[in-house]
């Protein structure tokens, strides 16, 4: 059984994945970390040098590989945009129990504050402007999250077998919610 975690960046897929891995005594694969290890480059470096389309192709190939070589039980933490590629969403839906870790804009903004430079989908050409950097931690960050969530939320929901709302919850509580949802 593969339990995949999807949701917007900053919803806690990696930290909840680690906790589930401990609780269920099974391996965790973080897809972004797997891609970084395979390529020897960070995700922001890949986006900058090769572009988003090339990254999405790498991501699809990595997902196929991970899903094809899975263990008896495994936790798979997906990148925030993984399921936005139709083929990836289909693989995740068909080959795993997909959990959407749903968070509100305020929760996501709180979690992502100060981390936009490591998040290619939240950074932009304007990010070199000092005034933009000051605003990015507030209203501009929330605007970017809101715009991306408007595009992504229906895909997250459509790919997921279970939806777990995470607002106001700690990692342990969310991991327990996931475990209960999949009846383990």
Strands 97-102 and 2-6, by their bridges, are parallel
Helix or strand (DSSP H, E) at 179: helix 171-181
C-alpha closest to that of 102 among 34, 20, 158: 158
Q: Which residues contact 150 (CB under 8 A, 6 or more apart)?
A: none
What's the mean per-residue pLDDT of the chain?
A: 88
- pLDDT (tens digit, 9 = 90+) per residue, 72-119? 899 999 999 999 999 999 999 999 999 999 999 999 988 887 665 555
The pTM score is: 0.87
**Domains, the chain, ranges and CATH?**
2-103+153-181 (3.40.50.300)
pLDDT band at 183 (very low <50, low <70, confident <90, very high): confident
Helix or strand (DSSP H, E) at 120: none
């Amino acid at each position: 059984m593969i339990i995949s975690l999807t949701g917007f960046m900053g919803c806690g897929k990696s930290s909840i994945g680690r906790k589930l891995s401990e609780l269920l005594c099974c391996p965790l694969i973080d897809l972004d970390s797997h891609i970084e290890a395979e390529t020897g480059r960070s995700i922001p470096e890949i986006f900058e040098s090769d572009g988003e389309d090339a990254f999405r192709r790498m991501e699809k190939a990595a997902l196929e590989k991970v899903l094809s070589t899975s263990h008896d039980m495994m936790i798979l933490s997906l990148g925030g945009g993984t399921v936005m590629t139709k083929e990836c969403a289909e693989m995740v839906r068909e080959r795993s129990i997909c959990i959407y870790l749903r968070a509100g804009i305020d929760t996501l903004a709180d979690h992502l504050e100060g981390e936009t430079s490591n998040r290619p989908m939240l950074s932009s050409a304007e990010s070199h402007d000092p005034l933009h950097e000051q605003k990015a931690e507030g209203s501009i960050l929330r605007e970017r999250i809101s715009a991306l969530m408007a595009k992504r939320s229906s895909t997250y929901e459509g790919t997921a077998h279970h939806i777990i709302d995470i607002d106001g919850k700690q990692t342990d509580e969310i991991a327990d919610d996931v475990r209960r949802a999949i009846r383990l």
